[in-house]
Amino acid sequence: MDRVPKMLQIDPEHRVTPFDYGYIAFVYDSERIQEPPQSLEDLTAPRFRNRIVIENPKTSSPGLSMLHWTISVYGEENYLDYWKRLKPNLLTITDGWSAAYGMFTKGEVPMVLSYVTSPAYHLEYEKTERYRAAEFPNGHYRQVEFAGILKGSKNPERAREFIDFMLSEGFQDAIPLTNWMFPVIQYQPLPDSFRVAPQPKTVAELAPSRVRDQNSRWLKDWSRSMSR
C-alpha cells in the first residue's frame, strides 16, 4: 500500500484496498458534435436536446458518480434544479453502462456518460480518434474501485494474498487494456492509446462519510424529481 497514492486511500484502517480508478466524462462523437460541452452547465444547452444518454444512479456506478458529481458542483440546495434543466436533453436513462454505450456506438445518440478512458479503447482496437472525452476545466468526478475481504470469509489468508496480487506489477500493468481504468500503481508507462484519455487536473469529490450518510436520501430525492 505504500506505493498507492494517499488520495486513493479513503479508509485509514485499510479495510478496503484500491486497485484502479477513473474519471467520469461525457464521451461524444466528434463527427456529430463539433462544439463539445466544457462544463456540466453546458450540457443543459438547447443544442443538446435529446442528444445525451446516461445511466441510472440507482443501478449503475457511473450513473451514481454523475449524481454525486452534480451534488459536489451545485450543492444539495441546487443539484435537483440542475437535473430539471438537464432532463430535456436526455434521450433516455439506461439501467447500466453497456446499454448506454451500445446506443452510442450504434449511432442512436451522439453523447454518452462514460469515462475519460473510453476513447483509448477505440484508438487501441479501432484505430480511430473519432470518439472523444469532453474535458471540463473545472473538474471531473473520480471513481475508485476497491477490493475487500468479507467478515465471514472462509479463506481470509487466501483473500489477503489475492489482494496483494492485485497490487503487483503484473496485475496493475494489465488494468489499462483490460478494465480500461488507470492503475493505482503505475509500474510502466501507460499504453500509447491512453494519450487520448485526459487525466483531469481538478477533481470533484464528496467526502466518503457524507456519501455513506446521505446517499439513500439523494437517490430518493433524485427519483422523485426525475419522475415528475
- The answer to whether position 181 is within a domain reads yes
Buried b (16+ CB within 10 A) or exposed e, 93-121: bbeebebbbebbeeeebbbbbbbbbbbbb
Q: Report the 10 Å Cβ neighbour count for 144.
A: 19
Residue 41 · residue 139 · CB < 8 Å: no
Write down the pTM of the prediction.
Answer: 0.94
| Assigned domain for 2 exists | no
Query: Could you tell me if residue 215 is inside a domain?
Result: no
What residues make up the domain containing 155?
12-205
**Looking at the domain assignment, is residue 136 inside a domain?**
yes
Residue 228 lies in a domain: no
Within-domain flag for 75: yes
Among candidates 14, 35, 100, 83, which has minimal Cα distance to 223? 83
> What sign for the dihedral angle of Cα 121, 40, 21, 199?
positive
What domain count does the chain have? 1
pLDDT by 10s per residue, the chain, length 228? 788 988 899 888 889 999 999 999 999 999 999 999 999 999 999 999 999 999 999 999 999 999 999 999 999 999 999 999 999 999 999 999 999 999 999 999 999 999 999 999 999 999 999 999 999 999 999 999 999 999 999 999 999 999 999 999 999 999 999 999 999 999 999 999 999 999 999 999 999 999 999 999 999 999 999 998
Cell numbers found for residue 76: 444539495
Q: Which grid cell sits at 47? A: 443544442
CA 141/CA 130 separation, integer angstroms: 23
- The answer to whether residue 226 is domain-embedded is no
Residue 20 sits in a domain whose CATH number is 3.40.190.10
Please indicate, yes or no, if residue 59 is contained in any of the structural domains.
Answer: yes
Count other Cβ atoms within 10 Å, centred on residue 216: 9
